[in-house]
Structures are given as structure tokens and as C-alpha cells.
Structure 1
């Protein structure tokens, strides 16, 4: 039924929102935006 299919899709989507998946996505994004380590300069 449409209801069951919608429930299954919602469940699968929700599983992608768990912290390990979200953290991995953030890590990938940061790697793309800043592919090399930043040079840290000590403050005065």
C-alpha cells in the first residue's frame, strides 16, 4: 500500500540522520572545502 511504502521510505531516510552518518557527511564536506591542513598561527 502507499502508506506502507511511505513509512518504509521515511524510515530509511531517518536512518541516514543518525549521528555517525551526519558526522561522516560533515567530514567529507570539510575535506572538500579545505583539502589541506590549515597553518595555525599563534596569537600574540
Structure 2
């Protein structure tokens, strides 16, 4: 994660985002915050 964050900063990005249903606690422990809820509907 540190490498991805460093690369994004070097590119001038303001933030990174990801989607995870099972690893929320892991990403919160790395100082990520919940920013959205995603919904999907199988067709």
C-alpha cells in the first residue's frame, strides 16, 4: 500500500480509492476512511 500511495502522490493525485467488502478493518487500520456505499443489482 505504501508503494501505491507514494506512486499516486508522485503522479499528483489527491487521493486513492478502492472497493472492498471483506477487508474494511484492514484499510481503516491504514488510515483509510469510508467514503461511499456501493450498490449493485445482478441482472
Q: Confirm or deny a common fold (TM above 0.5).
A: no
Q: Normalization by structure 2: what TM-score?
A: 0.28
Structure with bigger helix share is 1
Asked which structure has the greater CA Rg, the reply is 1
Q: Normalization by structure 1: what TM-score?
A: 0.27
Which protein has greater RCO, CA pairs closer than 8 Å, 6+ apart? 2
